[in-house]
Amino acid sequence: MEEKRRVFTREFKLEAVRLVIEGKQSVSEIAASLGVRPSMLRDWRRQVEGRPRAAAKELFRGNPKAVSQEEQISRLQSEIETLREELDFVKKAAAYFAKERP
């Protein structure tokens, strides 16, 4: 059976990296408590190291679940426009073919 890929929010990743950087627990212990692989934590840490905090937040933008409402509204409005155009085309095609029949 195929396993679904888990998606983590940017905030989750940054908090996990913060725990690793603090060093109060080992990477393995933190990974176990968060339910992620230690290699994931190491990758996230490498991505964040040496960057200012604001730049680190930009690293994890690709999360599809963290889409802002404005982006979602914009996407839905363009989808509505496309559907309206398709509906107009279907109506015109139906009217055209209705004229052809005796």
| Domain CATH number, residue 59 | 1.10.10
DSSP readout, 2-39? PPPPP---HHHHHHHHHHHHHTSS-HHHHHHHHTS-HH
Residue 46: per-residue pLDDT: 86
Sign of the CA dihedral running 69, 66, 63, 18: positive
Domain count, the chain: 2
- Please state, rounded to an integer, the average pLDDT across all residues of the chain: 81
> Do residues 59 and 71 share a domain?
no
pLDDT digits (tens, 9 = 90+) for 59-82: 665 544 555 677 778 888 999 999
Two tokens, residue 47:
């991505």
Segment 43-71 mean pLDDT: 67
Cβ neighbours of 64 (radius 10 Å): 6
Range of the domain at 95: 67-102
pLDDT for residue 59: 61
Residue 57 has pLDDT above 80, yes or no: no
pLDDT of 36 > 80? The answer is yes
Name the pTM for this structure: 0.49
